[in-house]
Structure 1
Amino acid sequence: MTVSGIDRLHSQLSKLEDMFPGYLTEIVEGSIVMNPVRPFHGRTIRKVSTDLEAQLAPVWELVSDVAFPFDDANEFCPDIAVIPAEVEAENRSSYSPDLIEFVAEVVSPESIRRDYEIKPRWYASRAIANYVILDPLRGHAVTMWNPGPDGYRGRDTIPYGPDLTVDSPLGKVTIPTGRLPVDAKAPHQS
């Protein structure tokens, strides 16, 4: 796909987001994917964002639902990404994924495969040191670290309850998981 093709696709995404409020829109493996945003999803993002922002040094800024084009077929809008504050201040609609220092996704019923299988490969391929999956369906967090060309080499699953501390390029960041919502009706709970 050419640069103008990418621009056209990004323009289409922007129009779709305007036409369907309440949906998150991304390009995944060459397809435009739209997911409804659920209350637990939004509440998890708000709580974790508030906790992380209080811990970030002034040189970092948190962004949410901003486009990061990885290649012609994959443009992700992470639920939470931390990038340099000076770049965030440019207030663009998309940024290079190479700027991401920490990324987190909140799982919804429609995003399970993307969050657990597809995105870890892409995030690791760009050497993003830490990827955290927050899963209200299963009531746990998954931390991934030590990125390599085929994905993350380190992975831990922690049930919601205790604080989750991640040793990242940003320093140690703590996510209190005990107050994150859990969907008791989710069919995928473990």
Structure 2
Amino acid sequence: MEMTAVDERRMTELFENLEVPEGVTIELLRGEIVMMAGPDLVHNRIVRSVALQLPSDRWEWLMTQDIDILSEQSEPVPDLVVLGSDAGPESGRLLPSEVVTMLVEVVSKNSVDRDYGIKRSIYAAGKVPAYLIIDPIVAHCVLLTEPVGGGDEADYTVQRITKFGDPVPLDLLGFELDTSEFKTLPGVRPHRRP
């Protein structure tokens, strides 16, 4: 069933006025509202490690920041948002995807399909230059660059997989990400993504 423009607008309004319990993340992904429970310690420590490694003279990082991807009826909340230190607006709830250099998602047990699937497509449609998926289930990082296309057809043309322990070359940001401290999630069944 196709959603009409009215339904989509109503969905966005509903989304923006929802009262969300403490510790729950809520995202709008192509008109669908998705809720996630609070993340695992493993997840949060990986996010912290990435943030601390970013060269702070050139890059700003944000957490729990809603991204506005206008063309997409989407307001995702990536685990980490990286932008040039003078790139973003001064204020506002939403950060336009055009000013973002890299988005980072750390995979959790319930986010595998979203992180590798719809978010890959949404972030490419939003022309985000780099999307880094850090996966503590299968102990690898997937760096996606060079977004092309729009809507459901949008994707990244370059994909580079790096095992935990090896450095991830983040050329766009001018440094290599050290993954040697990244831990894995115990007792989660491995998957076959990307």
- Structure 1 and Structure 2 fold alike (TM over 0.5): yes
- Any residues of structure 2 matched to 1:35-184 within 5 Å, and which? 35-36=36-37, 37-52=39-54, 55-58=55-58, 60-71=59-70, 73-86=73-86, 88=88, 90-149=90-149, 150-168=154-172, 170=173, 172-184=174-186
Q: Which residue of 2 aligns with 1:28?
A: 29
* Percentage of identical aligned residues: 24
The list of structure 1 runs, each at least 4 consecutive aligned residues, that deviate by more than 6 angstroms after superposition, is none
1:39-94 per-position Cα deviation (integer Å, ceiling 9, x unaligned) = 11211111111111xx1434x31111111122463110111112243454624321
Residue 24 of structure 1, CA deviation:
1.6
Cα distance in 1 for residues equivalent to 2:140 and 2:176: 15
Give, as a single letter, the amino acid of the residue that structure 2 aligns with 1:73: Q
Q: Secondary structure at the match of 1:76?
A: coil
The change in CA–CA distance for 1:87 and 1:9 in structure 2 (over 3 A counts) is farther
**Take 1:167 and 1:106, find their aligned partners in 2: how far apart are those partners?**
20
How far apart are residue 184 of structure 1 and its match? 2.8
Amino acid at match of 2:110: E
> Which structure carries more strand by proportion?
1
Structure 1 residue aligned with 2:16: 11
CA drift of 1:12 comes to 2.3
Give the drift of 1:10: 4.5
Root-mean-square deviation (CA, aligned residues, Å) is 2.3
Q: Conserved in 1, the CA contact under 8 Å of 2:12 and 2:31?
A: no
CA shift in 2, pair 1:69/1:21, >3 Å = same
What is the identity, as a one-letter code, of the residue corresponding to 1:175?
L
Per-residue deviation at 1:163? 1.5
Give, in whole Å, the separation in 2 of the partners of 1:4 and 1:122: 18
CA distance in 2, matches of 1:107, 1:76: 14
Gaps of 5+ in 2: none
Give TM-score scaled by structure 2 length: 0.82
Contact 1:121 1:151 (8 Å CA) reproduced: yes
State whether structure 2 residue 187 is matched by structure 1 residue 188. Answer: no
DSSP 3-state at the match of 1:75 = coil
TM-score in terms of structure 1 length = 0.84
Moved more, 151-160 or 82-91: 82-91
Unaligned 5+ segments in structure 1 are none
SS at match of 1:95: strand
**Measured at CA, do residues 164 and 6 of structure 1 come closer, stay the same or move farther in structure 2, by a change above 3 Å?**
same
Aligned AA (1:29): R
| Aligned residues of 1:139 and 1:189 also touching (Cα < 8 A) | no
Change (3 A) 1:89 1:152: closer
